[in-house]
Structure 1
Amino acid sequence: MTKNVLVTGGNRGIGLEIVKGMLSKGYKVLMGCRDEESGLEAKKDTVGGDLHIIEMPLDNETAIVDALVRAEAVYGPIDILINNAGVLDDTPWDEVNAETLAKSMQVNVNAPLTLIQQTLPQMIDRGFGRIINVSSSYGSFAEGLKGPLSYALSKAALNALTVKMAAVVDEASDSGSLNVKVNSMTPGWVHTRMGGSDAPKTPKEGADTAIWLATIEEGGPHGQFLKDREPIDW
């Protein structure tokens, strides 16, 4: 049976390349977008495959859950969740306030958590699942959290969420064998609207590790932070 993949922020940049990559491998892909119009426009860049547009604003929990419930009612449960959508707020540290920080945390952390809460229990029940959180080296303690404050904090929190959810899977595995994997990855510096024109990597190169993690065999990485298919320090 064809597995269902949900890619948030799938209408441009790295997300769109993840969508294309998963389509090329024969998966049914649900392209999560802020609005249907942007999804339909992006769909023009894809050729063939089982692709469906899911309007899923990530700015509040109710909207996310409602969109997911509607999508699963039509297409079935999510087997592979790729939390790709993100925002980069480069406000200087001394100008960040609770409101601006909350916006970064909502999209970069809270929305992935909501989607994981809705999909991971079913993955555990079925004994199969893949969750990939698209993070950043700016959220790495090992690299000094070098990015802008709101972005660095939110991506570090996303990494912490990965570790915690991997532990949830491990606890559930005590009662039997589970082929469920939860990982974070950084695409590196990619030439996208967020990364800028000086970035050395193409969006396709940036998407590679996410696609690889989404399609790994049972013995693959779990509870890790990866770059270019290799584990890196948190």
Structure 2
Amino acid sequence: MATRKLTGEALALALKEPTGHLFRDLARLRRALTHASARGSTGADYERLEFLGDRVLGLIIADLLFNAFPEAPEGELSLRLNALVNAETLAEIADEVGLPQLIHAGSEIRSMEGRKRVNLRADALESLIAALYLEGGVETARQFILRYWEPRSKALREARRDPKTELQEWGHQAAGAMPVYALESREGPDHDPVFTISVKVGGFEPASGTGRSKREAEQAAAMAVLLREGVWSKKEEDAR
């Protein structure tokens, strides 16, 4: 992540090739890549843009999947969408775009690791999408999103089963018990919380997962059990 605030011109040039767009509103672009820890006295950071970018991304991905999988039921489409817009996928794409080197953040944020760093990259990417949408309209945002997300949508040959549903069925067969989820912690500000949730099934060891929502954390915890117990193999999980 950038240790100093880059000029709007430098940001625009750095993002011209990976986004396919040369930004004209340099003030907005700088705001789109400024974390709250570095906003200074102006109060300009990417939180509002992140909110908008999340909705723009969701709409365009939903439209992509709706047309690409005309026979898929709503449940399958939802699973595919969730796999394409989760924090891990967004952080991965942010790395491809080169965002970590462009984000302006405080020193305490730059030193973060693990899940919080994933969320930071994901949030900045959503903010960038909002900046593209506001400056170039929905088609500019769509072209950027399709460039990075469409290949991933095609790679999802089969939508992964919902981990919580899979764990519930496995728990019934293996232990005659239902999974029990418990909230372990909630960290971060209200606009960007990180939840940690544990799950226990019968006499099996519990496992924990984290996420930006309780549901996402529960899914991560369920997946941890499925992988640990060999219900899902790591190779199969990576291929999904």
- What TM-score comes out, normalization by structure 1 length? 0.22
Larger radius of gyration, structure 1 or 2?
A: 2
Structure with greater helix percent: 2
More strand by share: 1
